[in-house]
């Protein structure tokens, strides 16, 4: 892998995978979740990545094939988790390493594709809505990019936490998708009247929390719709531009901005987070909204489509069980 257009820069390589070190779990990959970060990484715009070559794919589900001594997992376990992509080990591969602290056994009833697309989006939504906002039951949550990966997860987690969710997306197909996945209200950001529509829905109060993986003009319109004591949760820049924050506006209208990077806390704290996410999935409150499923050989095409993604979570099918 090197930086550039995915069709030219992504290539298959023969690899060997050494025995996993403490903190790693080696799996045979069945499915791997995808998203806008793949496009950023391939183009060389992802802030946390070093120089290529590296393996792409932030998350994966599959069967454990090797563990270090003392691991919580055993060979044969079916698991899903966050890959060692920051160290070059991505999920679009026959085998990969998962970070043990960010790995769970696949909850009952979750399909392989849902499992492959679960960890990043829901861990990110949790970091934003529980660790950083935090949102309270009864508050109004405005989710941007709500038919996308992290937005779709925030929509579901927001509902599970007792919020009223207003989902924002850019087409009727995506708005229908958001309704099917539990949104109380849906708004098209292309309609140009987002603040007025949010004011109508909230009786003039505005949204308590804005979950923003998009940035740019859509986020600017959402800030105009934020309530007193509101919080804008800064997740990402799928529009290519960050949200335009104005400190005087924040002061005069009494709201805050919180940055979010969904990185693990202490192993004990991380275990609590993943157990809570697994419990919510077990209860059916969280379920990866799988969108388009690609074949392993279609990874370059899949990455090139992440700048105009279809609704739902994109997943790559790697090997059959």
Ligand X SMILES: NC(=O)c1ccc[n+]([C@@H]2O[C@H](COP(=O)([O-])OP(=O)(O)OC[C@H]3O[C@@H](n4cnc5c(N)ncnc54)[C@H](OP(=O)(O)O)[C@@H]3O)[C@@H](O)[C@H]2O)c1
Task: Point out which span in 14-22, 93-101, 135-143, 301-309 binds ligand X (CB under 6 A).
Answer: 301-309
309 contributes a contact to ligand X by CB under 6 A: yes
CB of 108 to ligand X, least distance (A): 26
Quote the least distance from Cβ 266 to ligand X, whole Å.
18
Rounded to 5 degrees, what angle do the CA atoms 194, 313, 63 make?
A: 155
35 binds ligand X per the rule CB under 6 A: yes
Q: Does 83 interact with ligand X (rule: CB under 6 A)? A: no
Site for ligand X in 205-224 (CB under 6 A): 213-214
Angle, helices 149-160 vs 119-126, to 10°: value is 50
From 237, 281, 316, 318, residue interacting with ligand X (rule: CB under 6 A)? 237
Counting every residue, how long is the chain?
321
Indicate which single residue of 235, 273, 303, 316 sits in contact with ligand X (rule: CB under 6 A).
Answer: 235
CA atoms within 13 A on the CB side of 319: 15
117 binds ligand X (CB under 6 A): no
Shortest CB 310 distance to ligand X, Å: 9
Burial of 304 (0-12, 13-18, 19+ CB in 10 A): middle
Cα(211)–Cα(231) distance, rounded to whole angstroms?
9
Rule CB under 6 A: say whether 81 interacts with ligand X.
no
Span from 34-42, 48-56, 191-199, 269-277 in contact with ligand X (CB under 6 A)? 34-42
| Binding flag, residue 147, ligand X (CB under 6 A) | yes
DSSP string, 201-258: HTTT--EEEEEESS-HHHHHHHHTTEEEEEEEEE---TTSS-----HHHHHHHT-EEE
- Interface residue with ligand X among 110, 201, 219, 260 (CB under 6 A) is 260
From 130-138, 237-245, 271-279, 293-301, span contacting ligand X (CB under 6 A): 237-245
**289 near ligand X (CB under 6 A):** no
Q: Enumerate residues 162-181 that contact ligand X by CB under 6 A.
A: 169-170, 174
Q: Count residues contacting ligand X (CB under 6 A)?
A: 29
Please report the beta strands in the chain, taking only residues with DSSP state E, as ranges in sequence order.
Answer: 24-33, 59-66, 78-83, 95-105, 140-143, 164-169, 185-188, 207-212, 226-234, 256-259, 290-295, 313-317
Near ligand X by CB under 6 A: residue from 1, 29, 32, 40: 40
**Sheet with 140-143, edge to edge strand ranges:** 185-188, 164-169, 140-143, 207-212, 226-234, 256-259
How many CA atoms, within 13 angstroms, populate the side-chain half-sphere of residue 84? Answer: 18
156 touching ligand X, by CB under 6 A: no
Q: Give the span between the Cα atoms of 31 and 36, in whole angstroms.
A: 17
Residue 149 engages ligand X in binding (rule: CB under 6 A): yes
Catalog residues that contact ligand X under the rule CB under 6 A. Answer: 35-37, 40, 120, 124, 145, 147-151, 169-170, 174, 213-214, 235-240, 260-262, 306-307, 309
């Amino acid at each position: 892998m090197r930086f550039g257009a995915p069709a030219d820069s992504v290539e298959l390589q023969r690899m060997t995978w050494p025995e996993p070190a403490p903190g790693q779990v080696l799996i045979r990959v069945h499915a791997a979740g995808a998203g806008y970060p793949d496009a950023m990484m391939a183009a060389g715009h992802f802030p946390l990545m070093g120089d290529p070559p590296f393996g792409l794919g932030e998350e994966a589900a599959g069967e454990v094939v090797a563990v270090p001594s003392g691991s919580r997992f055993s060979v044969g376990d079916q698991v899903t988790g966050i890959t060692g992509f920051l160290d070059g080990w991505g999920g679009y591969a026959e085998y990969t390493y998962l970070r043990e602290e960010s790995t769970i056994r696949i909850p009952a009833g979750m399909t392989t594709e849902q499992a492959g697309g679960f960890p990043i989006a829901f861990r990110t939504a949790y970091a934003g809505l529980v660790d950083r906002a935090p949102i309270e039951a009864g508050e109004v949550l405005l989710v941007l990019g709500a038919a996308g990966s992290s937005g779709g997860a925030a929509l579901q987690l927001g509902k599970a936490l007792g919020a009223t969710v207003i989902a924002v997306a850019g087409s009727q197909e995506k708005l229908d998708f958001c309704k099917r996945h539990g949104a109380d209200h849906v708004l098209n950001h292309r309609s140009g009247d987002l603040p007025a529509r949010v004011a109508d829905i909230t009786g003039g109060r505005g949204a308590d929390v804005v979950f923003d993986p998009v940035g740019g003009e859509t986020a600017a319109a959402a800030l105009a719709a934020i309530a007193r004591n509101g919080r804008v949760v800064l997740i990402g820049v799928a529009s290519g531009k960050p949200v335009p924050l104005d400190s005087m506006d924040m002061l005069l209208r009494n709201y805050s901005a919180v940055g979010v990077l969904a990185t693990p806390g202490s192993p004990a704290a991380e275990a609590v987070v993943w157990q809570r996410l697994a419990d919510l999935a077990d209860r059916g409150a969280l379920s990866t909204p799988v969108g388009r499923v690609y074949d392993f050989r279609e990874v370059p095409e899949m990455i090139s489509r992440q700048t105009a993604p279809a609704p739902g979570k994109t997943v790559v099918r790697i090997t059959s069980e």
